[in-house]
Amino acid sequence: MSGPTPHVHNHPATSAVAPDAPRKMQLSIWFFVGALCLVYGLVLIPVGVYQLSHPPNVVLPELHVTLWWGVGMTIFGAFYAIRFRPGKV
């Protein structure tokens, strides 16, 4: 004597997708990291330029750390934002 057959439900996340089905665009976390660093860098550069004529009261103000971090973060952020931009094939 056989019992009732179990009901099998194919969940969309686990079932096979047809090869011609349109794929959803996924955003990489690295795009957001790059965009955030780019924005911070673009904020720090003008502050660093301002501090060239108005040095802050810190140790070794002649190193202009704010300006250099702004330049570095802008370059890093631009690289990652461009490299992992949405819609890139």
Domain ranges of the chain: 29-83
Tell me the pLDDT tens digit for each residue of 24-76: 778 899 999 999 999 999 999 999 999 999 999 999 999 999 999 999 999 99
Q: Is the pLDDT of residue 10 over 90?
A: no
pLDDT at 25: 73
Longest dimension (CA), the chain: 92
Nearest CA to 40 out of 78, 11, 88, 13 is that of 78
For 21-43, b/e burial (b = at least 16 CB within 10 A) is eeeeeeeeeebeebbebbebbee
